[in-house]
Amino acid sequence: MRRIDWSTLDAAGRREALARPARRSQQDVVDVVRKIFDDVHARGGAAVADWSVKIDGFAPRRIAITPETVAAARDALPPTATRSLRIAAENVRVFHQATRPEDTPFFETTPGVRSRLVWRPIRAAGIYVPGGTAPLFSSLLMQAIPAEVAGVRERVVVTPPGKDGGVHPAMVYAAAEAGLDAIWLIGGAQAIAALTYGVVLDDGEIPACDKLFGPGNAFVAEAKKQAAALPRGPAVDMPAGPSELLVIADRDADPEIAAADLLSQAEHDADAQVILVSESRANIDAILAEVERQLETLPRADIARASLTEGRAIRVRDMAEAVEVANLYAPEHLALQTVDAEALVDRITAAGAVFVGAFAAETLGDYAAGPSHVLPTDGAARTLGGITTASFMTCMSVQSVTEAGARQLAPVAARLARLEGLEAHARAADLRSGG
């Protein structure tokens, strides 16, 4: 990890210190994704199949979630694993049921003029679940369950095939816990293109989806961006690319815990980025030494080491400067490992999820705490939040006006319309004024 003294940097140096890995926006990623999209637009399912074979080595497959497939998945997993999956699914469902938006009552702004907000689920959600080097069944729970709670009728889940072309039994079991009837084994930009255009494949049809969800590598993130830019293209949840974690650790923070948290995100992907911020040079030294010690026994050490080349260890003068760094970076995950962690939360303005105190491991949020772990990356946390039930819904205003209310408000609206030079607007109001 690169060491940086924040107080010695000018504005340009600080921007460079907090830059995301260059690969996330490299032109070759943009060009490959555009080529895939153009091909799928022209050839449909045949192009999706060809790109799947070329990139992943396997044609797309639909895995039906039936009693038989679920029983086989259950038998392939230890009982402790299935029990943990059920607990995690239930926590996710409970949290999202509790935070589901509700229709508001009517509010009367003028006598006889009443308005309210109502919420409706979207029609079809395309849900991308990362895979490849690891079966991230947790991302399935964190998306498909909020969509179910929202009332989405059509949830289309895609995930890359495993190295053997199959699917991990935990993914099947998670799909059953989320109430899905099938999952598709398709990965990468070709999966996003399939969800965008709708395609017919050998195993069935994938419909064009209204909104796309899910984290992924640089190619998936770019594919979502290109999908949203198409005329009448789908909406997308947020930029949700390779994982990010910023840890604020004061001089009293436990180096072993801080190092473990940094590595928990670094092992995700070579494009993941972890940042350590502390006012204590001694604790930075201790944490980085712990990182090296723990790396020696990590199964995914090579991936973590590649990620750590884009890591930063930033020394600040005090906690106020640490908060400044965190808000400028706007991390996907922010861990506050300080004695006054609760007090710092009110000063945080930009983060996807905040983990407060030494016991709040980011890993707990990844799997089982309840809130979705699908969160904005690349600084998008300055303006966007993570997936909630509301992410799978639309909000409409409903306005009800009595004759008396129209008589009172229509003249106001008509005057304002004429002030803007919109005479037809004004006449439509005049017709309601009773004059």
Catalytic residues: 332-333
Of the candidates 184, 176, 178, the one whose C-alpha atom is nearest the C-alpha of residue 159 is 184
Residues 193, 216: contact at Cβ < 8 Å?
no
The vertex-394 CA angle with 393 and 397, nearest 5°, equals 140
Relative orientation angle of helices 27-43 and 218-229, to the nearest 10 degrees: 60
Bridge-based pairing of strands 353-356 and 333-337 is: parallel
Q: Is 321 exposed, middle or buried (0-12, 13-18, 19+ CB in 10 A)?
A: middle
Lookup result for tokens 């030294």: 285
State the maximum Cα–Cα separation within the chain, in Å, rounded to a whole number: 83
The vertex-156 CA angle with 155 and 162, nearest 5°, equals 135
Supply the Cα-derived Rg of the chain in whole angstroms.
25
Of the candidates 132, 143, 222, the one whose C-alpha atom is nearest the C-alpha of residue 185 is 132
